[in-house]
Amino acid sequence: MIIRFFYTVLLSFIAPFFLYGLFRKTANKPNIGARWKEHFGISPALTTTKQPIWIHAVSVGETIAVSPLIKTLKNKYPKVPILLTTTTPTGAAQADKLKGLVEHRYMPIDFSFAVKKFIRCHKPSQLLIVETELWPNTLHTVCKAKIPITVLNARLSDKSYRGYKKVLPIFRQVSRNISKILCQHQKDADNFSRLGVPQKKLAVTGSIKFDINISKQIIQNGLVLRKRIGSTRPVWIAASTHKGEDEIVLSAHKRALEVFPDALLILVPRHPERFQAVESLARDKFEVVNRTSQQPITSSTNVYIGNTMGEMLVLLGAADICFMGGSLIGKKVGGHNLLEPAALGKPCITGPSYYNFKDITNSLVAVNACSVIHDDEELCNKICYLLNNSNIMAEGSKQAIAVVKNSAGAIEATINQLQLH
């Protein structure tokens, strides 16, 4: 109780800055608008009177990850309503794509009064949290309302374990409110156990991200885009890049053009507010087209900026090779998930910092479906090597698909643990 009191006092000071970051208007970022009240638990009632399953996915990545699970749940239990909350407006924009399957609301900020209002309004039957988004007041308030809490797709890296260990009394107070933790891997479960979580609360279900189902329409859209680009042109994509990586990527592309003069780089910044800055950076050195302009891609186009939300799969489908961002800027980000390019059969390249997705990355590296590089020169050399060796690229593609297929089954295992009726 004392710990939560001091935490709440601290949150009171931090919350205005956090909310300012959420609410402020920036280019290419969805606007929360009049829905800001939802962050304080004031949200419109659902269109159903039945108790919904409440799923919380903080932002875009988590919403994409949980989408196959939501679709499977609706197929198996079509009469059970699903309430999906996100914290960020970009997550809300992604949730919009699940209209008809879920109703979306913004997650109340972690004050007990806001969470209580939310619960009174929506009366959820249970709360499913995607990955390890653990907010002390939310968990305490939901548990006190006798609503079971399950953490899905939970990860606890060695680094996170060491972090939680430093605040073990806080972690234990938080974790005692959780009914179940469904872990991606045994290593994650072991780390939770070392922090004192009882074995009866732990299960290993695999990563629901491996149960990816890429629709025929998305694959077809990727092929259409590739035809616009030019079926025989060498094409590589730099996906989910962060500030500081774009210069490295563009430098690597400049080098690659000396070997493959008609090569095209598809450059997709991670955050929409950076689209314009990255495009300006690219225009300093290259002939650039951005996706929203609808301009034709000509033989002189060197860089194609993917400045649209939710089209990563289409852009990946149009490329030969994928470099995954968030991995070349020290330890700040820890990489992004290589599952989607792997599922599409794209040989992958990553920087050395991929600790957030160690398991899938190491699985791909082990079968030569992914390479680790450290700078623009190595990135260029690896791209040129793959483009020069079509047989090696084809084998990498085959192995990437196999890794994804062999790791499937987590959605079924997760649903079995939820004991829905």
Residue 390 CA to residue 320 CA, distance in Å, equals 10
Contact criterion met (CB below 8 Å) for 68 and 144: no
106: β partners = 86
The span from the first CA to the last CA of the chain, in angstroms, equals 35
How far apart are the C-alpha atoms of 96 and 91, rounded to whole Å? 9
- CA 304 to each of CA 97, 237, 380: distance values in angstroms, whole numbers, following the listed order: 25, 9, 17
As a whole number of angstroms, the distance between CA 276 and CA 12 comes to 34
Nearest to 101 by CA among 70, 59, 57, 55: 70
Q: What would the two tokens of residue 63 be?
A: 């919403």
Q: Is 353 exposed, middle or buried (0-12, 13-18, 19+ CB in 10 A)?
A: middle
Cβ atoms within 10 Å of 53's Cβ, excluding its own: 21
Clarify whether 62 is annotated catalytic: yes
Residue of 62, 103, 131, 340 marked catalytic: 62
Tokens found for residue 148? 């079971």
Active site residues: 62
